[in-house]
């Protein structure tokens, strides 16, 4: 099976979706001739032409609004916003139009479109090039929010997002873009949006994470299992909204302990939502308070100190040990 980076896997998903459905168009800043700043759309212009692979002006609000117009007529636009920090310029179109069209038109104009955008830190960048604001979109009724963690699920989930009948915010962990290769088959592959994945089964404690945080989580898990003899269960959320509450509840019902890891700010972050759900449905099984290890409530810091902001294997190990040691 071919080994691909996440960038190559995403490119494959776009390529195959475009080949398969002439309604799929991609658009964004410098995505055609340059193939995108991270080269996710490389080669698509040559293959599908400028009517389907469009360089847009630097105008995020216009990009998303135009994509919404295309989508409510029946096309399937995949709009790239160059960095997730730039989506704020398009906030109105995402929140007011992309998210609401099916509801507002009472299903007369359903909207199937994808906003792809790289998010997250760890690349020595700066605030609006590093932040994780998935909470905004998860908070917005009408949107689905999908965040892959590796090349294979990125490809499958992007295909699922393009095929999805509702609008999807697709957050790509840019720290993972070229971090490693994985088997990604040539044949089209898809995954169900809204399903979390238990990537390691265990009995003592559940770690829940997603996106770029899966790498330090798995690194920490290796240590916890091998050096500390703990039996850790690891869940990759993959889809923030809809959230796979059932898988989370089943796991924590079994383990009784849970640590949630994300790099977005703490207050009203995704961990807060997960804790609320576990509180509702798994409360009587908890052995220890659920711990969240998150980014701080600050603007994403500059490169010299960003490693102190981001959760890493050490801080995850610490959080797990504290939770395991909890004694009521």
Partner 1 sequence: MTTSSKPDITPQSASLKAKGPSTDLLKQWLRDMLLIREFEVRTMQAYQNKKIGGFCHVYIGQEAVAVGCTAALEPNDPVVTAYRDHGHALARGMDPKYGMAEMFGRIGGCAKGKGGSMHFFDKEHHMYGGHGIVGAQTPLGAGLAFATKYEDEIINGGVSNRVTLSFLGDGALNQGSFHEAQNLAGVLDLPVIFVCENNGYSMGTAISRGTTMGHDITSKAAGYGFDSAVIEGMDVIEVYEGMKAVVDKCRETSRPAFVDMRTYRFKGHSMSDPRKYRTKEEEQQYAQDDPIDKLANELMNNRGLSRDEYDVMAKEVKKQIREATKWAEASPIPDIEELYRDVYVEKFGPYSGTSLPAMLED
- Active site amino acids: 129
Tell me: does residue 321 bind partner 1 (CB under 8 A).
Answer: no
Q: Which residue of 173, 301, 316, 320 would you call a contact of partner 1, by CB under 8 A?
A: 301
Tell me: does residue 126 bind partner 1 (CB under 8 A).
Answer: yes
Q: What share of the chain is helix, strand, coil (3-state, %, to 5)?
A: 40, 20, 40
CB neighbour list of residue 298: distance below 8 Å, 6 or more residues apart: 265, 309
Q: Which residue of 42, 62, 219, 256 would you call a contact of partner 1, by CB under 8 A?
A: 62
Residue in this structure with the two tokens 């009995």, named with its chain if needed: 203
> DSSP state, 36?
-
Tell me: does residue 276 bind partner 1 (CB under 8 A).
Answer: no
Pick the closest to residue 191 from 154, 160, 225, 237 (CA basis): 160
Whether residue 242 has a cis bond before it, omega within 30° of 0:
yes
Question: What's the 3-state SS for 70-92?
Answer: HHHHCCEEEEECCCHHHHHHHHH
Least separation, in Å, of the C-beta of 113 and partner 1?
Answer: 20
| Cα gap 286→252, rounded to integer Å | 7
Least separation, in Å, of the C-beta of 255 and partner 1?
Answer: 21
Site string for partner 1, 63-102 (x = CB under 8 A): ----------------------xx-xx-------------
Q: Segment contacting partner 1 (CB under 8 A): 30-38, 192-200, 239-247, 279-287? A: 30-38
Q: Segment contacting partner 1 (CB under 8 A): 114-122, 164-172, 197-205, 303-311? A: 303-311
| Cα gap 291→92, rounded to integer Å | 34
Least separation, in Å, of the C-beta of 253 and partner 1?
Answer: 24
CB neighbour list of residue 73: distance below 8 Å, 6 or more residues apart: none
Q: Segment contacting partner 1 (CB under 8 A): 55-63, 189-197, 213-221, 236-244? A: 55-63
Residue placing its CB nearer to partner 1 in the complex, 139 or 308: 308
Q: What spatial distance separates the first Cα and last Cα of the chain, rounded to whole Å?
A: 50
Restricting to residues 152-191, name those near partner 1 by CB under 8 A: none
Q: Kindly report the length of the chain.
A: 328
Q: What is the largest CA-CA distance in the chain?
A: 64
Q: Segment contacting partner 1 (CB under 8 A): 147-155, 172-180, 278-286, 295-303? A: 295-303
Please check whether residue 103 is in contact with residue 142, taking contact to mean a CB–CB distance below 8 angstroms: yes
Residue placing its CB nearer to partner 1 in the complex, 56 or 140: 56
Q: Segment contacting partner 1 (CB under 8 A): 182-190, 207-215, 240-248, 292-300? A: 292-300
Q: Which residue of 305, 325, 327, 328 would you call a contact of partner 1, by CB under 8 A?
A: 305
Tell me: does residue 128 bind partner 1 (CB under 8 A).
Answer: yes
Tell me: does residue 308 bind partner 1 (CB under 8 A).
Answer: yes
H/E stretch holding 115: strand 114-119
Binding residues (CB under 8 A) for partner 1: these are 29-30, 33-34, 37, 55-59, 61-62, 85-86, 88-89, 124-129, 266-267, 292, 296-299, 301-305, 308-309
């Amino acid at each position: 099976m071919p080994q691909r980076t996440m960038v190559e896997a995403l490119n494959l998903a776009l390529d195959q979706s475009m080949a398969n459905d002439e309604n799929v168009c991609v658009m964004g800043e410098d995505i055609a001739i340059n193939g995108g700043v991270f080269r996710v759309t490389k080669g698509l212009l040559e293959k599908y032409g400028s009517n389907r692979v469009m360089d847009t002006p630097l105008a995020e609000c216009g990009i998303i609004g135009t994509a919404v117009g295309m989508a409510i007529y029946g096309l399937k636009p995949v709009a790239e916003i160059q960095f997730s920090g730039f989506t704020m310029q398009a906030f109105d179109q995402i929140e007011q139009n992309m998210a609401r069209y099916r509801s507002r038109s009472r299903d007369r104009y359903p909207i199937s479109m994808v906003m792809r955008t790289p998010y997250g830190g760890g690349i020595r960048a700066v605030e609006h090039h590093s932040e994780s604001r998935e909470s905004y979109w998860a908070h917005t009724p009408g949107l689905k929010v999908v965040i892959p963690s590796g090349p294979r699920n990125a490809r499958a989930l992007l295909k699922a997002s393009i095929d999805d009948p509702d609008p999807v915010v697709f957050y790509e962990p840019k720290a993972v873009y070229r971090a490693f290769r994985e088997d990604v088959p040539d044949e089209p592959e898809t995954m169900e949006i809204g399903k979390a994945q238990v990537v390691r089964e265990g009995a003592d404690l559940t770690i829940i994470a997603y996106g770029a945080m899966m790498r330090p989580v798995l690194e920490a898990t290796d240590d916890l299992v091998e050096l500390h003899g703990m039996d850790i269960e690891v869940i990759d959320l993959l889809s923030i909204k809809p959230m796979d509450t059932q898988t989370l509840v089943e796991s924590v019902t079994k383990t009784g302990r849970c640590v949630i890891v994300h790099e977005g700010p703490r207050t009203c972050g995704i961990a807060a939502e997960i804790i609320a759900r576990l509180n509702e449905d798994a409360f009587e099984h908890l052995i220890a308070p659920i711990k969240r290890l998150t980014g701080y409530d600050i603007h994403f810091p500059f490169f010299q100190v960003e490693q102190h902001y981001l959760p890493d294997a050490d801080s995850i190990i610490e959080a797990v040990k504290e939770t395991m040691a909890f004694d009521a």
